[in-house]
């Protein structure tokens, strides 16, 4: 359904595109996207996707694409520091500007480049001028454009993960303001993206409350003497400056005065220019979108070598496509839309004997498993093989590359697949994950759909019938492999992630033994304690209620007992989340009981009741290790999740005691000591951290000594705990607010704590800043092994989004590198023939800890080998230290 249909427009709308915003978004969202000759095409890709989507779905009569022109504008004259912090346009983006203009003109879209003002001013002016005559839709997400919203003006962001439409009603509901107040609001709170300071100490909440009483800056100025003392103090000295800030954020509505509606009319598309352009910049999959957008014409793709287009992006004459024609019943991916399956069925070559298959030696092959059958794609043919895996392996083991989704699933389905060398496998799921670890969904159905939607993979692919799964796998490999290479991820794939696959498969198959009797006894104790706590809580509340009901809990705590609320849910209800209740500790004794109740309830419902039900016939639990689940590269597990087994406190020890070694066996548990802080020392080069680790000092006591100006021997337990909190907290981007809550100190004390920390460990701040700067410049950050995480949010205009992206950048480098190290260790331990000879096998990985099971008589020697492998797996600026324990169960060994 088109936007016009969704919003019930009765008249053809005017679409105004904030082109510069999409241009920059594309640049940072796809930093590795280049033409085969290396010319960057990432920004072009996003803009063309947006344009073709709008043209295809909306069939607009009036559409204009706005770009910011070069040089300064009137805002710089008002305020010389306006946008002063912004770096110049990157060279790889600058070279795409002229090709962008060429694409817009080829699609028949009017193009406006602002001069002496910003594109947003022209957007605001056109919206104001034409909104009385027809609906106006602004394509963009810039917060300044919100002041354009009206009954007949809407904002639409079609390029986000979740398509967003904002109406005047939405804006009022979200902000409590009218659009004509937006510039006043922004003047008060400032805008870091545009380097507008605002009034120090006036945030969104304060500004909202202030403007609810005094709707304009004039009202605030005229009623200054009536302001609350704390707000009056903040506003002193800014009563005139805020009006300058408002001029900076207020959009002009008298720009682009010479433009008439007729100037904004979409022209007929020059289809030959469009197809030539798409071939020139190797966006051939988009030709299908052009056919949908302009259905009266069928356009076929043409291929072109890298030498046909120079690095400046000038057009080159298209070259005729080479290769065989599609087989009968196939369709060109770049031609007409695929016909319905009932009209065009693919004739599979069905075989039941390997003797009927072609020679696969040194050929790229696509392979998809369907139950006991296999789809095999090779050299344009699709084979449906009703052949046992053990037989199929014999003819596939000499292929050049086998493109499959999820190699591990093949290994788990039949051990025969392990006969094929690891170097011959190409894991489509793994490659898609490493290129974009934020997607979260790398299932085969979704990967395959990429070929037919074009939404994720813009590169050209060979003709693929929608039913040809083997050929689809092969086509995806030919798209993903060059990307993996250009992103510098080949070593990560070949030396770490692919070698890890059989290790994970072996661990899943081995499983871990559990003591059912211990589980039963522990469950009884927890159930009794839950009953006791239920009685106590009801007595303290002076009435029975459902403790598991957040609504009933809220009524008891805040309505009946009168406790002060400390937070709300996203829907506006008073929150009773654990993080909120922890802030209420001390207000009423019922809080501690509720938190303990929830802890016991989680033990019961998450672990003690369900885990025994998952035990296999071998008396062991078999989890699934997920290689594609986290953006930092850490492994997760599911079915059940053993990564979240409680490990701390008495309850954690009781839980670990339920995980045991098999009959006649023992466990060796090896845990990296402070691996993330050691990684931090390695990357930052901080001399204090390096010295502490080299001398095997207690890092938290050493840090505490610096913070409290004491000798390490004089540090108290509380001081060490505070230092530990800040040491680990800053790795995860902890700010002063959270630190104040964690340590139970004031916000100013927390700020002083952090300031002193960075004063004493000054190299760390420089390191953190350098990580964020790398992320801003390159669009991603990297870990020890070269794993990458894209962080386009570092260029957001929303300070909260930027702050989160900064935390993610630092966390990825540190935690991601720690994840690399544990994976390296898993491979090394699994490949250690001495451990295997002694009967040891790796069975579990929990964050920074490995669990190996082996015979009782050799477990001590196995443990030493395990510890040695982990400590020597890689070389850092500081030694890696591993704590080792042995025992019959995990609690004893930990």
Mean pLDDT of 570-590: 81
* 578/601 Cα distance (integer angstroms): 13
CA 588 to chain centre: 40
pLDDT tens per residue, range 471-505:
999 999 988 998 898 889 999 999 999 999 999 99
| pLDDT (0 to 100) of residue 160 | 61
With bands split at pLDDT 50, 70 and 90, how would you rate the model's confidence at 463?
A: low
Instruction: Please report the pLDDT score of residue 656 as a whole number.
Output: 92
With cut-offs at 50, 70 and 90, classify the pLDDT of residue 214. very high
- % of the chain exceeding 70 in pLDDT: 91
Q: What is the pLDDT of residue 91?
A: 84
Please, which residues have CB within 8 angstroms of residue 796's CB and are 6 or more apart in sequence?
A: 193, 802, 805
Residue 580: per-residue pLDDT: 83
pLDDT of residue 2: 80
Q: How confident is the model at residue 14 (pLDDT cuts 50, 70, 90)?
A: very high
The helix (H) or strand (E) run that includes residue 659 is strand 659-660
Cα–chain center distance at 303: 34
Count of CB atoms within 10 A of residue 164's CB?
Answer: 13
According to the model, what pLDDT value does residue 868 have? 97
Instruction: State the average pLDDT over residues 124-139.
Output: 93
Assign 3-class secondary structure to 479-504: HHHHHHHHCCCHHHHHHHHHHHHHHH
Give the per-residue pLDDT at 455.
44
Tokens, residue 689: 């951290």
The whole-angstrom separation of Cα 266 and Cα 54 is 12
For 612-662, what is each residue's pLDDT tens digit? 999 988 999 999 999 998 889 999 998 888 888 887 778 889 999 999 999
Distance, CA of 255 to CA of 347 (rounded, Å): 61
Q: Nearest 5°: phi and psi at 609?
A: -85, -50
Can you tell me the distance from the alpha carbon of 755 to that of 684, in angstroms, rounded to the nearest whole number? 18
Task: Categorize the per-residue pLDDT at 345 as very low, low, confident or very high, splitting at 50, 70 and 90.
Answer: low
Q: Is the pLDDT of residue 864 over 50?
A: yes
List C-alpha distances in Å: 568 to 60, 144, 191, 746: 42, 28, 26, 22
Dihedral (CA of 179, 65, 32, 435) sign: positive
Could you give the CA distance from residue 216 to residue 227 in angstroms, rounded to a whole number?
14
Q: What is the pLDDT of residues 392-423, one digit of tens each?
A: 999 999 999 999 999 999 999 999 999 999 99
Q: Specify the pTM.
A: 0.66
Of 252-266, 554-568, 698-712, 853-867, the range with the highest mean pLDDT is 853-867
Residue 168 token pair: 């005047």
Query: Which pLDDT band holds residue 330 (cuts at 50, 70, 90)?
Result: very low
Please check whether residue 208 is in contact with residue 172, taking contact to mean a CB–CB distance below 8 angstroms: no
At 326, is the pLDDT very low, low, confident or very high (cuts 50, 70, 90)?
very low
Domain spans in the chain, listed from the N-terminal domain onward: 3-167+252-263, 349-510, 629-685+781-894, 687-760
The residue-averaged pLDDT of 733-739 equals 79
What average pLDDT does the chain have?
Answer: 85
Report the pLDDT value the prediction gives residue 452, as an integer from 0 to 100: 65
Q: Examine the pLDDT at 338 and tell me if it is beyond 80.
A: no
664 pLDDT band, cuts 50/70/90, is very high
Average pLDDT over residues 864-870: 97
- Between vectors from CA 725 to CA 721 and to CA 726, what angle results, nearest 5°? 120
Three-state secondary structure along 789-813?
Answer: EECHHHHCCCHHHHHHHHHHHHHHH
| Residue predicted with more confidence, 21 or 826 | 826
Residue 152 and residue 135 in contact, taking contact as beta carbons nearer than 8 Å: yes
Cα-atom radius of gyration of the chain, to the nearest Å?
31
* Separation CA 559–CA 70 (nearest Å): 59
Helix (H, G, I), strand (E, B) or coil at 180: helix
Q: For helices 428-435 and 444-453, what crossing angle results, to 10°?
A: 70
What pLDDT is attached to residue 34? 82
Q: Per-residue pLDDT tens for 795-838? A: 877 777 888 888 899 999 999 999 999 999 999 999 999 999 99
State the CATH architecture for 629-685+781-894: 2-Layer Sandwich (3.30)
- pLDDT reading at 340 higher than 70: no
Total length of the chain: 894
| Superfamily name and number for 349-510 | Ribonuclease H-like superfamily/Ribonuclease H (3.30.420.10)
Q: Residue 460: pLDDT above 60?
A: no
364-370 sheet: strands from edge to edge? 349-351, 381-385, 373-378, 364-370, 401-404, 425-427
pLDDT at position 297:
47
| pLDDT confidence tier of residue 136, bands split at 50, 70 and 90 | very high
Cα–Cα distance measured from residue 689 to residue 680, given in angstroms and rounded to the nearest whole number: 8
Under the phi-then-psi rule, with left for phi > 0, alpha for psi from -120 to 50, and beta for the rest, what region is 788?
Answer: beta
Query: Averaged over 32-38, what is the pLDDT?
Result: 78
DSSP class of residue 846 equals E
User: Which of 281-295, 516-530, 545-559, 720-734 ranks highest by mean pLDDT?
Assistant: 516-530
For residue 395, the SS3 value is helix
* Residue 782: its H or E element: strand 780-782
Is a pLDDT exceeding 60 seen at residue 94? Answer: yes
- For domain 3-167+252-263, the CATH superfamily is 5'-nuclease (3.40.50.1010)
Residue 578: which of 562, 563, 560, 566 has the closest Cα?
566
What pLDDT does 828 receive?
Answer: 97
Exposure of 834 in the CB half-sphere (CA atoms within 13 A): 12
| 333 SS3 class | coil
pLDDT at 320 over 70: no
Q: How far apart are CA 296 and CA 658, in angstroms?
A: 69
Q: Is the pLDDT of residue 254 over 50?
A: yes
Tokens of 498: 């692919």
3-167+252-263 and 349-510, same CATH topology? no
Of 159-173, 306-320, 594-608, the poorest mean pLDDT is in: 306-320
Q: Please, what is the Cα angle at 591 between 588 and 597, to 5 degrees?
A: 150
Residue 322 pLDDT > 60: no
């Amino acid at each position: 359904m088109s936007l016009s249909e969704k919003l019930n427009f009765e008249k053809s709308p005017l679409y105004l595109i904030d082109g510069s915003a999409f241009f920059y978004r594309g640049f940072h969202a796809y930093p590795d996207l280049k033409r085969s000759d290396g010319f960057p095409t990432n920004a072009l890709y996003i803009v063309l996707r947006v344009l073709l989507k709008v043209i295809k779905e909306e069939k607009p009569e009036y559409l204009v694409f706005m770009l910011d022109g070069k040089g300064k504008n009137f805002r710089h004259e008002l305020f010389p520091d306006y946008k002063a912090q912004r770096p110049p346009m990157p060279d790889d983006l600058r070279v795409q500007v002229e090709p962008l203009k060429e694409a817009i003109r080829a699609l028949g879209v009017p193009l406006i480049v602002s001069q002496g003002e910003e594109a947003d001013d022209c957007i605001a002016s056109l919206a104001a001028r034409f909104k009385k005559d027809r609906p106006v839709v602004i394509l963009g997400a810039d917060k300044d454009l919100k002041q354009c919203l009206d009954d007949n003006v809407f904002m639409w962001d079609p390029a986000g993960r979740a398509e967003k439409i904002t109406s005047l009603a939405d804006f009022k509901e979200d902000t409590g303001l009218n659009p004509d107040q937006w510039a006043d609001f922004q003047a008060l709170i400032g805008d870091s993206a545009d380097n507008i300071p605002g009034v120090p100490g006036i945030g969104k909440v304060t500004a909202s409350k202030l403007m609810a009483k005094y709707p304009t800056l004039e009202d605030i100025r005229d009623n200054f003497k009536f302001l609350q003392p704390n707000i009056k103090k903040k506003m002193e000295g800014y009563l005139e400056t805020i009006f300058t800030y408002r001029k900076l954020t207020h959009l002009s509505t008298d720009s682009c005065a010479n433009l008439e509606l007729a100037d904004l009319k979409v022209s007929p598309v020059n289809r030959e220019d469009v197809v030539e352009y798409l071939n020139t910049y190797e966006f051939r999959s988009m030709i299908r979108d052009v056919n949908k957008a302009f259905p009266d014409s069928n356009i076929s793709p043409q291929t072109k070598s890298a030498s046909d287009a120079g690095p400046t992006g000038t057009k080159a004459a298209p070259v005729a496509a080479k290769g065989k024609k599609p087989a009968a019943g196939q369709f060109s991916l770049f031609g007409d839309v695929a016909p319905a399956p009932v009209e065009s069925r693919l004739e599979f070559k069905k075989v039941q004997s390997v003797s009927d298959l072609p020679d696969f030696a040194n050929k790229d092959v696509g392979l998809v498993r369907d139950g006991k059958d296999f789809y095999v794609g090779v050299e344009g043919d699709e084979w449906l093989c009703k052949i046992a895996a053990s037989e199929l392996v014999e003819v596939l083991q000499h292929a050049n590359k086998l493109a499959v989704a999820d190699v591990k699933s093949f290994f788990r389905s039949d051990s025969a697949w392990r006969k094929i060398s690891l170097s011959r496998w190409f894991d489509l799921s793994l490659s898609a994950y490493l290129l974009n670890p934020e997607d979260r969904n790398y299932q085969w159905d979704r990967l395959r759909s990429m070929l037919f939607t074009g939404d994720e993979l813009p590169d050209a692919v060979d003709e693929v019938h929608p039913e040809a799964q083997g050929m689809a796998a092969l086509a995806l490999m030919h798209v993903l492999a060059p990307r993996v290479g250009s992103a510098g991820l080949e070593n990560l794939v070949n030396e770490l992630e692919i070698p890890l696959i059989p290790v994970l498969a072996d661990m899943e198959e081995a499983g871990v033994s559990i003591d059912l009797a211990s589980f039963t006894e522990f469950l009884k104790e927890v159930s009794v304690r839950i009953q006791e706590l239920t009685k106590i809580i009801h007595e303290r509340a002076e009435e029975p209620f459902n403790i598991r009901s957040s609504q009933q809990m809220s009524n008891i705590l805040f309505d009946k007992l009168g406790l002060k609320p400390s937070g709300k849910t996203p829907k506006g209800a008073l929150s009773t989340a654990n993080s909120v209740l922890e802030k209420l500790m001390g207000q009423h004794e019922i809080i501690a009981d509720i938190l303990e109740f929830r802890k016991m309830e989680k033990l019961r419902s998450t672990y003690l009741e369900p885990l025994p039900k998952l035990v296999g016939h071998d008396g062991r639990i078999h989890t699934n290790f997920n290689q594609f689940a986290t953006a930092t590269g850490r492994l997760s597990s599911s079915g059940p999740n053993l990564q979240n087994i409680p490990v701390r406190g008495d309850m954690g020890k009781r839980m670990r005691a339920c995980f045991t070694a098999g009959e006649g066996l023992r466990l060796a548990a090896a845990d990296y000591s402070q691996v993330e802080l050691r990684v931090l020392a390695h990357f930052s080069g901080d001399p204090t951290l390096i010295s502490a680790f080299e001398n095997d000092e207690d890092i938290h006591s050493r840090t505490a000594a610096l913070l409290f100006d004491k000798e390490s021997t004089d540090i108290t337990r509380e001081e060490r705990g505070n230092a530990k909190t800040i040491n680990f907290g800053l790795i995860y981007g902890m700010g002063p607010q959270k630190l104040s809550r964690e340590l139970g100190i004031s916000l100013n004390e927390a700020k002083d704590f952090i300031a002193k920390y960075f004063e004493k460990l000054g190299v760390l701040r420089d390191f953190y800043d350098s990580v964020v700067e790398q992320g801003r410049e390159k669009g991603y950050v990297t870990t020890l092994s070269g794993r990458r995480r894209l962080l386009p949010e570092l260029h957001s205009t929303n300070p909260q989004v930027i702050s989160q992206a900064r935390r993610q950048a630092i966390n990825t480098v540190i935690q991601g590198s720690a994840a690399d190290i544990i994976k390296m260790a898993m491979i090394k331990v699994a490949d250690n023939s001495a451990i295997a000879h002694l009967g040891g096998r790796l069975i579990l990985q929990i964050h920074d800890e490995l669990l190996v099971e082996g015979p009782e008589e050799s477990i001590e020697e196995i443990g030493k080998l395990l510890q040695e492998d982990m400590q020597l797996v890689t070389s850092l600026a500081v030694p890696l230290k591993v704590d080792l324990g042995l025992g019959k169960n995990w609690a004893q060994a930990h």
